[in-house]
Homo-oligomer: A and B are copies of this chain.
């Protein structure tokens, strides 16, 4: 499978953004975060792990995007489809790209409004003091009207293929979990071993892994692993966000250690039933809240994670949330997770997660759908 995207796909993303910018009277959009920059330019690096340098892309209302970036990124950006690349030697404690960015934004936006992604789950990846300098220079900023988030929510076939590949990689790694997890193994060793399996099965990297284990499940789903020893009758859950070519899978699997966890049998059936109900409800035209309602009808309204699924793509979680309050309309091309949870008593829970894509006729499975009894390790 080819890495990256055809230039035409980037051009289509820019054109769609620019059409919306005209409607919302935005002279430019300022992008500062990894997925936003990559979505429009194809600039793909793990170097964002370093917080030291800001990176900017300016999307004008017409014409090609302009990259305003640290010189360390110039060679890589030159290999993208972007021609207008303006660099400074960063980090610069006195002027870390600010004057270069002010000049670019003035040139592009003039007196017009500059949109900045400002809604739910966004953030501005630059020092607040430097953003103050942009404002003090007379530039006018406002919300981007959700343009970037809405575009990213609908995946192209090429994007869906990458997510499907990440799902397949994780599916194969889960199939081999018995290589690294069994009664007596320590949970932190299992975490290391499973990440190794994900890499061996083809993941580029493993940005996310969480999980837990216990006779009645686990107390939360976000903790790192400690040296806890897996015991006969435990339920072990691993939840991974593995990446292929910059796209995530995000699903989990539950396993019984040594023998079927009897206490988990009923919640496990409930979870499978809830996931199926969510799958059937995930029709184009339905609201995110409808899918939530279908699953909550099975599991009850327990608030184990604040939501019962979410969008998925260039980020582990992105876009809509399956909650009572989210009225986003499902559209073909949206990739989401179904993530029901049930409380099992004593503050413990079980959760289960699958990945699907919304299609014209209904949902399509991306992760290898779990069915039948909980697998035993």
Contact = CB atoms under 8 A, between A and B. Distances in A.
Interface of A: 3, 44-47, 49-53, 70-76, 89-94, 96, 116-129, 132, 143, 188, 191-193, 195-196, 199-200, 202-210, 219-224, 226, 241, 303-307, 310, 315-318, 321, 323, 325-326, 347
Nearest to A305: B72
A79 B210 CA distance: 16
B93 A120 contact: yes
A45 B118 contact: no
Contacts of A193: 199
B51 A222 contact: no
Contacts of A347: 75
Nearest to A129: B118
Contacts of A304: 72
A52 B128 contact: no
Contacts of A325: 92-94
A124 B124 CA distance: 7
Contacts of A121: 51-53, 91, 127
A241 B120 CA distance: 30
A121 B49 CA distance: 12
A96 B318 CA distance: 15
A22 B241 CA distance: 42
A224 B45 contact: yes
A92 B127 CA distance: 26
Contacts of A117: 128
Contacts of A70: 306
Given A92-B325, A192-B200, A45 B223 contact: yes
Contacts of A92: 323, 325
A221 B72 contact: yes
B91 A120 contact: yes
A124 B128 contact: yes
A90 B47 contact: no
A64 to B, nearest CB: 22
B76 A223 contact: yes
Given A222-B72, A226-B3, A323-B91, A125 B127 contact: no
A128 B33 CA distance: 13
Contacts of A75: 219-220, 223, 347
Among all A-B residue pairs, the 8 with the closest Cβ atoms: A47-B222, A75-B220, A118-B128, A118-B129, A50-B317, A49-B208, A192-B199, A52-B317
